[in-house]
Amino acid sequence: MKRRIAVLVFPGTNSEDETLRLLRDCGGEAELVHWSRAQRLTDYDAYVLPGGFAYEDRIRAGAVSAHDRMMDDVIAGAISGKLVFGICNGAQILLEAGLVPGTGPVRRPTAAFTDNGPVPHFVCRHVYMKLAIDPSRCAITAALPNDAAIPAYAAHGEGRLAASPERLQEIVAGDHLAFVYAHRDGRIDAAAVPNGSALGCAGLVNREGNVLAIMPHPERDGWNFNHLDRQEGNDVLAPSGGAALFRSFVDAVNGR
């Protein structure tokens, strides 16, 4: 029996539909849950926080949403071991809620995805995220190969990882750096980083390995029709590219 995945919709979320469709295309039993129905969240086995501009990114991206009623159940679920996956705005919310990297108290963030640098600007660019941990370190990445390079789109104005030197050292020492920006061939250098992110960070995982926050959007590079070269076959509606991470997540949710 498939376990149920909730795709959370905050006021201002705008990437829920493609996230939902790719989860379903990858075999997930996924449904949208709007903020007005937060009480339903306890019925689900895993949570996905998609991209957008929840609460208009007031104060800073993710700061208001981290205190939304929906996050009470997400936090409780994460603590109990449920899988939580945040993408772009969802990743910002997870950091603001203190779930990732999870090195401090809940709702007391120790790091943030903040204004791109060195000059603040919106980034819209195709990128690759290279897995920087052993796949088994995070349940959501466990089905990926070592050094997997996931194609995605960076589309954000606040995606630069920022933290104090001590907290950045803590992230490295605790093996929280899940994904780094890379070139298609896997090379890592400053040119691959679109936003000045500390450590070249594209994603972080918590200590327990059940909460993953990534800034780029793999669901925007998730089907063959997203690829001009059709490298993964002629079926334009077949999941491909960024779907690899979604398949790995769905497999973990279903205990495969």
**Catalytic one of 16, 26, 88, 138:** 88
% pLDDT > 70, the chain: 98
Q: Is 201 a catalytic residue?
A: no
Could you read off the pLDDT of 190-201 as tens digits, one per residue?
A: 999 999 999 999
Give 166's DSSP letter: H
Q: Is the whole model's pTM more than 0.75, yes or no?
A: yes
Rounded to whole angstroms, the Cα distance separating 229 from 218 reads 17
Burial of 150 (0-12, 13-18, 19+ CB in 10 A): buried
Is residue 229 over pLDDT 70? no
pLDDT band at 235 (very low <50, low <70, confident <90, very high): confident
pLDDT band, residue 119 (cuts 50/70/90): confident
Domain 4-253: give its CATH architecture: 3-Layer(aba) Sandwich (3.40)
Mean pLDDT of 91-119: 95
Catalytic residue among 16, 176, 201, 217: 217
Give me the DSSP letters along 14-79.
Answer: --HHHHHHHHHHTT-EEEEEEGGGGGGGGG-SEEEE--B-GGGG-SSTTTTGGGSHHHHHHHHHHH
Torsion (CA) 106, 198, 249, 101 in degrees, nearest 10: -20
Asked if residue 125 has pLDDT above 70, the reply is yes
pLDDT higher than threshold 80 for residue 225: yes
Answer yes or no: is pLDDT of 203 > 70: yes
138 counts as catalytic: no
Residue of 16, 96, 158, 219 marked active site: 219
Consecutive H or E run containing 173: helix 165-173
**Region 82-104 average pLDDT:** 97
Active site residue 67: no
Domain ranges, ordered by start, for the chain: 4-253
Give the range among 45-59, 81-95, 200-214, 225-239 with minimum mean pLDDT.
Answer: 225-239
Over range 112-120, report the average pLDDT: 91
Of residues 230, 215, 90, the one with CA closest to residue 153:
215
